[in-house]
Amino acid sequence: MDPRKNYYEILGVPENASTEEIRKAFRRLAKKHHPDVNPGDRTAEARFKEVNEAHEVLRDRKKREEYDGIRKGAFSGGFRGGPFGAGDAGPAGFSPGGARAEAFDLGDLFGNLFGGEGAGFHPRGRGSDIHVELPVDFLDMVRGGIREIRFHRPRTCAQCGGTGRTGRRGCPACFGRGVTETEDRVKIKIPAGARDGATIRVPSKGEERPASGESGDLVVELRMLSHPYFRREGNDILLDAPIRFSEAVKGARIQVPTIDGPVTVTVPPGSASGRKLRLKGKGVRTPGTVDRGDQYVILHVAVPKDRSEEFLSLVERIAAYEDPDLRGQWN
């Protein structure tokens, strides 16, 4: 507590502000100036500390009364800023219990801010799980592989050992939270055939808890990225294949890509658009087994864009061979 500072001004509230007004102002400003939102911004960091300090005093009825009293006395009695060392704790000091209560409130705030699960910071409980989404290329998902991921991980503050205090002061390294955000990295194995939305749990790589030392888990959710031409339905692969009009009529051997590389398939004569050709066992592996789905090649007959007289007269001749009762089933 530093009575030379105007905590009301810092929070932008009137001197008769209610606890609720103070809480709201604090939450708004803490979000705005939080170091995670303003990485590397020293001014924001200083503001964040100031806002925390102001809130720490004004949220507590006893501390607020004390602070108001000192300021009143100081200004009427010719206060010069002498008796209080910079950043020194007020005469009442702080109990470890107070520090924990404060950490709880901040944890609550950060839980809401960053969407972490389990609102509330419980120093003695198990750490929360950390959820991250990992975008994975279509083929990496199909074939599996090892990926290293980096993620933000709250860990016990090394400066204060998680108490949030250094001596009688709030810990400057963690702003009294007892935890600091660090970047961690971990290698995970994506199983061949993993599905979109599948989760991989990495034990003890979640949030660290200062008092219990029991970390939560890291939960990685796989997000399959789309492929330029393959689609996936469960363990089957779908591929749209354009074929020429002549190929559709006469049949053809065409080369198509599969996840194992190109293969040649036979288009039967007289194939219409929408016909599906099945490539057995060319689909995605069921994780943990040797079973594979199929690939389906879906034919799309292309229509020539040519509008020349010669071409149109050819089409006219072809029309004589077409089914005059093509839509007869509706009559």
Of 174 and 239, nearer to Zn ion (C-beta) is 174
171 binds Zn ion (CB under 5 A): yes
174 binds Zn ion (CB under 5 A): yes
Among 1, 51, 157, 243, binds Zn ion (CB under 5 A): 157
Cα 7 to Cα 15: distance, rounded to the nearest angstrom: 9
Strands (E), the chain: 130-136, 145-156, 165-166, 169-170, 179-190, 199-202, 218-224, 230-233, 236-243, 252-256, 263-267, 276-279, 295-301
Of 155 and 232, nearer to Zn ion (C-beta) is 155
Of 53 and 140, nearer to Zn ion (C-beta) is 53
Of 166 and 286, nearer to Zn ion (C-beta) is 166
CB of 48 vs Zn ion, minimal distance in Å: 14
Of 128 and 163, nearer to Zn ion (C-beta) is 163
Kindly indicate which of the ranges 54-62, 131-139, 156-164, 245-253 contains the residues binding Zn ion, using the contact rule CB under 5 A. 156-164
159 binds Zn ion (CB under 5 A): yes
99 binds Zn ion (CB under 5 A): no
- Is 93:168 a contact under the CB 8 Å cutoff? yes
Among 44, 173, 188, 298, binds Zn ion (CB under 5 A): 173
211 binds Zn ion (CB under 5 A): no
Helices 42-58/19-33 angle, 10° precision: 160
How does strand 276-279 pair with strand 199-202? unpaired
Count of residues interacting with Zn ion (CB under 5 A): 6
DSSP 263-329: EEEEEPTTPPTT-EEEETT-SPBPTTSS-B--EEEEEEE-------HHHHHHHHHHHTTS-TTTTGG
Which residues of the chain form contacts with Zn ion (CB under 5 A)? 157, 159-160, 171, 173-174
